[in-house]
Amino acid sequence: MDTLKAQKKSARHAFNKALALREAESKVICKKIQESSGRDRYDAWNEKRSYGDDTRGLLLASGFVRGIPYKVIEAKVGERREAYAFQIVDAAKRYADIALDGNAVVDWLEGVKPEKLFAEPEPVVAAPVMVAPAPVAAPVPEPPKSATGFVAGIKRLFGAA
């Protein structure tokens, strides 16, 4: 149980940090919208919309980890603005580096209290180790007993033996 508490606390801290950063970035985009006109203003608004969708996923992930029911968070959202589990799982991974259980997020969106919040870590499977076979040396022929040594080898070489 302590592990779950620690995971939740760590996730909440990471979400709060990411949300504070996103708030500051959002203010920069809003200022850009106010100062621009024409095509630049249109592009800035599109950037803000995209930014808002990402932030929504982050906020929903935060609510999920805190245990707040989805219907309470978005009580006035219609079908047109339905949240998708992959957005929430993706936002948690990108901004807080945590892995949420996708099935639990789907249950949460449907109003069912999830049994587990975090995905099980992937088991680490070691890759098979390829071992190169030991080199086998060719057998070295032994010189004849009568002619051994350096001088005998030279004599054999020049045919004097």
Residues paired with 100 in a beta bridge: 118
* Phi (first) and psi of residue 77, to 5 degrees: -85, 130
pTM over 0.95: no
Classify residue 129: in a domain, yes or no. no
| Tens digit of pLDDT at every position of the chain (161 positions) | 567 778 778 888 888 888 888 888 888 888 888 888 888 888 888 888 877 777 888 888 888 888 888 888 887 766 656 778 888 888 888 877 788 888 888 888 888 777 666 665 555 566 666 666 767 766 666 655 555 666 777 777 777 65
**Where in the sequence is the domain holding 73, given as residue range(s)?**
2-109
Show the 3-state SS of 77-120.
CCHHHCCCHHHHHHHHHHHHCCCECHHHHHHHHCCCCCCCCECC
Classify residue 138: in a domain, yes or no. no
Structural domains counted in the chain: 1
Residue linked to tokens 């070295």: 140
